[in-house]
């Protein structure tokens, strides 16, 4: 799976929880999930659990600590899939 494909799937999942739906349109890898897309921290856990289901990976709490931006999420998933 290419990084662009992973990015698209990540955005689709985040979109389910983002309060700022308009922010999704111009989102890039630098977009902060909590601040820019207004996903609250409780929902961020749901986002990452959805990553687990979608990509068939397992994420530890420590791994999730590094996820601030969309790019961080893509990098984490790619590392788990490698």
Partner 1 sequence: MKSIPRRTRAALWVQREVGRVLSFFWIPASAFALRYVMGYRIKNAARLRKRFRALVRESDEPILICANHLTMVDSMLVAWALGGTWWYFFNYRRMPWNLPEYRNFASLWFARAAVWITKCIPIRRGGRREDVSGVLKRVKYLLSRGETALIFAEGGRSRTGRVQIDALAHGMGRLASSVRNCRALVVYMRGDRQLSWSTVPAIGDSFYVDFEVVRPHSERTGMRRSREYAQQIMDRLVDLEDKYFARRQ
Sites of contact with partner 1 (CB under 8 A): 34, 40-42, 45, 48-49, 52, 58-62, 64-68
In the complex with partner 1, which residue's Cβ is closer, 56 or 62? 62
Between the CA of residue 46 and those of 7, 51, 82, what are the distances in Å? 17, 9, 23
The CA distance from 76 to 78, in Å, is 6
The CA distance from 3 to 62, in Å, is 23
In whole angstroms, the minimum distance from the beta carbon of 11 to partner 1 comes to 19
In whole angstroms, the minimum distance from the beta carbon of 48 to partner 1 comes to 6
In whole angstroms, the minimum distance from the beta carbon of 2 to partner 1 comes to 26
Q: Read off the tokens for 51.
A: 């990553």
In the complex with partner 1, which residue's Cβ is closer, 2 or 82? 82
Comparing CA positions, the residue from 13, 24, 6 lying closest to residue 46 is 13
In the complex with partner 1, which residue's Cβ is closer, 60 or 82? 60
């Amino acid at each position: 799976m290419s990084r662009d494909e992973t990015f698209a799937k990540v955005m689709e999942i985040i979109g389910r929880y983002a309060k700022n739906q308009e922010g999704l349109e111009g989102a890039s890898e630098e977009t902060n999930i909590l601040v820019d897309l207004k996903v609250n921290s409780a929902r961020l856990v749901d986002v990452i659990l959805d990553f687990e289901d979608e990509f068939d990976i397992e994420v530890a709490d420590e791994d999730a600590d590094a996820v601030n931006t969309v790019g961080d999420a893509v990098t984490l998933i790619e590392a788990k899939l490698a």
